[in-house]
Amino acid sequence: MPNLYPALERQEVVIHGPDHVHSVGELTDATLDLVAEAWQRRARDVGGICFALLNEGHEAGASLPHSHSQLAWLPAPAPAAAGERGLPDVLPVLERGGVAAGCPVASRVPYEVLIAPARPEPDGLRSELLGPALRLLAEIVRRLQRARGEALVPLNAWLHDGPHWHLELFPRTTRLAGLELGAGVYVNPVAPEEAAETLRD
Ligand SMILES: [Zn+2]
C-alpha cells in the first residue's frame, strides 16, 4: 500500500502477512517468499529505481510494530550502492539455498551481515534467489535475537541491487555518533570474527 507519509515521489509499504508479528525473524518461509514476490512485482510493474528496505524497532526508525518493509523509488541510483566496488570480504556464517551469509571483515556495527548469492549475479529484483536470501536473513535475525536474548533487536536491512546484488543487515545495537557519521570511522565493539562465530553456533 502507499506510504501515508512519503518523503519521495513514490514510497510503498509491504505488509508482511496478516499475523501480528514484530520481526522478520518470526515470519514463515512461505511468507518470506511472498515478500520477495511483492518486491519483485512492484519493481517490475512501476519501473524506475526501486530501493527495498526494512526498519525494525524504534531505534532503527520503525514507526509501526507490525512486520513490514518499504519500497522507495529513487530519482538516481542509491549513492551507497553505486559507491561499492564489488562485494566485501566476509567471514562465512551460513550457506543455504544458493545464498550465503557472512560478516564483513570490516563490519561497521556488531553483527553486521552480508547476504548474497553464492555465485555473484546481477538484478536481485529479478532473481529467483531473492526469496532464499530473505529466508536466510530471517534465520540470521533469529540467531541474533537468541544470541542477545532479545525478542526484538533493532535493525535495518536493505537490498543493494546492481552487478553483485546483496542484502545488508545492519543491527542497531550501538549508537552512531560524530565519529561514525562525520568521519565515516566506525567504532565496533564486537569483532567480526566473534560475531561470525556466535551466529554460526
Ligand atoms: Zn552493499
Q: From the CA of 81, how far away is ligand 1's center (Å)? A: 5
d(CA 104, CA 137): 15
pTM, two decimals, is 0.96
Condensed to tens digits (0 to 9), the pLDDT of residues 53-79 reads 999 999 999 988 999 999 999 999 999
Residue 56 DSSP code = E
Reduced to 3 states (helix: H, G, I; strand: E, B; else coil), residue 72 is strand
Q: Are the beta carbons of 168 and 84 closer than 8 angstroms?
A: no
Residue pLDDT, tens place only, 71-107:
999 999 999 999 998 999 999 999 999 999 999 999 9
Residue 86 alpha carbon to ligand 1 centre in Å: 9
pLDDT attached to residue 129: 98
For residue 136, the model assigns a pLDDT of 98
Percent of the chain residues topping a pLDDT of 90: 95
Q: Is the pLDDT of residue 201 over 90?
A: no
Grid cell, residue 196, equals 561470525
Compute, in angstroms, the gap from residue 178 CA to the centroid of ligand 1: 22
- Is residue 166 within 8 A of residue 89, CB to CB? The reply is no
Cα(45) to ligand 1 centroid in Å equals: 24
Residues β-bridged to residue 170: 156
Q: Which candidate, 162, 163, 111, places its Cα nearest to that of 137?
A: 111
